[in-house]
A = this chain, B = another copy of it.
Amino acid sequence: VTTSADHPTRLALLDVGTQLGARSGLARLSINDVVQEANVAKGTFYVHFKDRTDYLVSLHRRFHDRLFATVVSATAGLQPGASRLQLSIAAYLDGCLTEPLTRAILFDAHYEPAIQAEVNRRNEFATQPICADLDAMGVPLLSETARLVIAMTVDIAIAEHEATGPLPLLRSALMELLKLRQGI
């Protein structure tokens, strides 16, 4: 029932979901709308995805994989520390601005267990390097502070996405909260 991950029709369906989901949220995203917009029959959807949940998880995963790749490449080779953290956050926020699904992914509630699990995987993934940075900066309460940093960054990403552009003052406020800890 599920075909190869890079089949053109499968990618087209994901692309359509990215556009439609950005408009009304993933919770309201219907298979009817997706197949109509993609100009394929309804049955074709189930050639490429087991069910609706499988489709939503795929959308989540693609969003996150892309974003993670840009953050990694932006900070490749850097030592853990304040400047790497700063660069990571900037890369993440810049990446979110170019991803249509940002608001839908970061803002939607995750009551489906499968999606909740996917989100948890993502958050654990992000926490690890942030903890290393904070540790190098001498911050106490590593994982707790990392969680708060993620919460603030996600909030900024949503705000910028609604503003359809960067909000430098908001980014500065975050850096201010973190910078003091560096003892600059």
Chain A residues at the B interface, C-beta cutoff of 8 Å: 24-25, 27-28, 104, 107-111, 139-141, 144-145, 147-148, 151-152, 154-156, 159, 167, 169-170, 172-174, 176-178, 180-181
Contact = CB atoms under 8 A, between A and B. Distances in A.
A25 B112 CA distance: 10
A25 B155 contact: no
A75 B1 CA distance: 59
A105 to B, nearest CB: 10
Nearest to A170: B144
Nearest to A152: B148
A40 B2 CA distance: 45
13 contacts: A25-B109, A28-B111, A144-B170, A147-B170, A147-B173, A148-B156, A148-B170, A151-B152, A151-B154, A151-B155, A152-B152, A177-B181, A180-B181
A89 to B, nearest CB: 12
